Amino acid sequence: MEREDLPVLDLVPGGSGDSTGFLGPPRYTASNVANPGYLVVVINPQGRYKSEGQEGYNGIIHQDGLADVIRFASCLQEAKDGRVGLVSFDFGVTMASGSLARHPDLPVAFLMGWEGPADRNDTGRCDENHTGHLQEVVDCSDEALWEEHEALTFITRIEVPFQRLQSDTDHAQPDDDHAIAMIHAAIVGGVPWVRLNDLPANLTIDIQNQPPMLPESTD
């Protein structure tokens, strides 16, 4: 493969993370992803690690910042066809889907999301499960704020294929209902190609009769 013919992957960190999560062991390192022949771009969202600016909790501030990174990555000399594959981890799906929904002109070929919350119940501890890490900075009744912080809304508006990866035991949520919700919303919203794990594409899944998810040991 020529140096100027590399497919580009932009890795979006999970939680309130930054690029350091991809620069060291154990599994999700930029070097491991690059070894098969990818040009890998990792980001530090505004207000995190070495990036200046205001922490945006994966909302508009971070979505616009990611859009700028994607445009930059697509212009790199090594980038194949000038298109970027977007890979999000955990809460990064909110930043990634929001960026795609709000910037439909981005040169992105697909969105792949490893797990990741769907709505305020998953991130703001707004239901009886009390999961999520934003309860100290958000109000569950603040509709204006949640308009920019719920992936379930954004995923209906993306215009590229969406692949969701989901383990049997989610790393943060008590069940896998959020994965089914994301798939359903994407299909209903008209996303051109939607798949959960290795199931058939564009398959509507009954939340009360969920298929087996990926084994936890799957890398």
* 218 in any annotated domain: no
Residue-level pLDDT at 66: 98
Q: What is the DSSP string of the chain?
A: --TT-EEEEEEE--TT--GGGGSSSSS--HHHHHTTT-EEEE---TTSTT--S---TTSHHHHHHHHHHHHHHHTSTTEEEEEEEEEEETTHHHHHHHHHHH-TTS-EEEEEEES---SHHHHS--STT---S-TTT--TT-HHHHTTT-HHHHGGG--S-EEEE-BSS-SSSSSSHHHHHHHHHHHHHT-S-EEETTSPTT----TTSPPP-B-TT--
**Chain-wide mean pLDDT for the chain?**
92
For the segment 119-132, what is each residue's pLDDT rounded down to a tens digit?
A: 999 999 999 887 88
* 216 in any annotated domain: no
* 81 in any annotated domain: yes
Percentage of the chain modeled with pLDDT above 90 = 76
| Cα→Cα distances 68→76, 117, 134, 149, Å | 13, 24, 25, 19
* 57 in any annotated domain: yes
Mean pLDDT of 99-121: 97
Model confidence band, residue 33 (pLDDT cutoffs 50, 70, 90): confident
What predicted TM-score, i.e. pTM, was given to this entire model? 0.93
* 47 in any annotated domain: yes
- Domain CATH for 189: 3.40.50.1820
Domain of residue 109, residue span: 6-196
* 102 in any annotated domain: yes
* 156 in any annotated domain: yes
For the segment 176-202, what is each residue's pLDDT rounded down to a tens digit?
A: 999 999 999 999 999 999 999 999 999
* 185 in any annotated domain: yes
Please give the tally of structural domains in the chain: 1
